[in-house]
Amino acid sequence: MTNPSGAPLVRRFLLALLCLGGIHYAAPWPGPQAVLNTFLVLGLAPGFRSPLSGILWAAAGGWVLEGTLRLYPHLGGTAFGNMLTCLLAFSLLLRWPPHSLKPYWGRQAALVVIHTLLVHVSVRFAAGPHAWGTGWLWSLVLIPVWATLALRLHPPLHRK
């Protein structure tokens, strides 16, 4: 007997892997790189059935992003912020599964702001003041794209 949720899980896994590769290869373009990281943390990682899997993917995204930026402190601040935001998104999905697109956009926008603040607080805690950049703005502006994609192509498994 086959697992009915196996195929979406595999697709989610492959898409998360593609996001990791994209984060790595998008290092010369910090804006798209931040969008890919946000998509992985807020769009894909919370959708896994286990929160442990989700935060592992989020941590991996944070470490890959820090590893690609030469002038960025490699102390895990981004991974830590990713994991906390992913846990928050996971609990929100459990408590209030999304039913329509626009409320989901609003929730993702709030999570993007929280994610940005958490990451920068963590990085500041670990390594001191640093440049913020415009990646958060890219993530906010492109919410209609990546959030719609996350909900349409890969709805959270908890929703099914």
Partner 1 sequence: MRQRAWGWNPAGRRRWAMAILLLGHLLWMALGRGASSRWQRLANLLASPPRAASAQWEAWKANRREKVSTLRQAQTDLLALRAQVTQLLTARAAEAPRVAEADEAIRLLGLKRLLPMEFRAARVIVNVRKAPFGGMIVDQGEDAGLRPDQGVIAPEGVVGRLWDVGATQSSLLPLDSYNASTGVMLARSRATGVLQGLGPGKAAIRYIGNQEVVQVGEPVFTSGLDRVFPRGLLVGYVSAVQPHDVELHVEVILAAPLDRISLVLILPAHPQMEIQPPAVPAQAPPGKQAGK
Instruction: Determine the length of the chain.
Output: 160
Q: Is 75 a residue that touches partner 1 (CB under 8 A)?
A: yes
Listed ranges 3-11, 30-38, 50-58, 132-140: which one lies at the site for partner 1 (CB under 8 A) = 50-58
Alpha helices in 26-153 (DSSP H): 30-38, 51-68, 77-95, 101-127, 135-141, 143-153
Which of 31, 32, 67, 73 is the binder for partner 1 (CB under 8 A)? 73
Which of 5, 50, 91, 134 is the binder for partner 1 (CB under 8 A)? 50
Q: Based on CB atoms, which residue is closest to partner 1, 98 or 120?
A: 120
**CB-hemisphere CA count at 13 Å for 153?**
16
Structure tokens, 57: 């993917």
What H or E segment, with its residue span, contains residue 10?
helix 6-25
Size of the site for partner 1 (CB under 8 A): 20
- Other CB atoms within a 10 A radius of the CB of residue 158 amount to 14
Q: Based on CB atoms, which residue is closest to partner 1, 41 or 84?
A: 84
Q: Is 46 a residue that touches partner 1 (CB under 8 A)?
A: no
Which chain residues interact with partner 1 by CB under 8 A? 50-52, 55-56, 59, 73, 75-77, 79-80, 83-84, 87, 122, 125-128
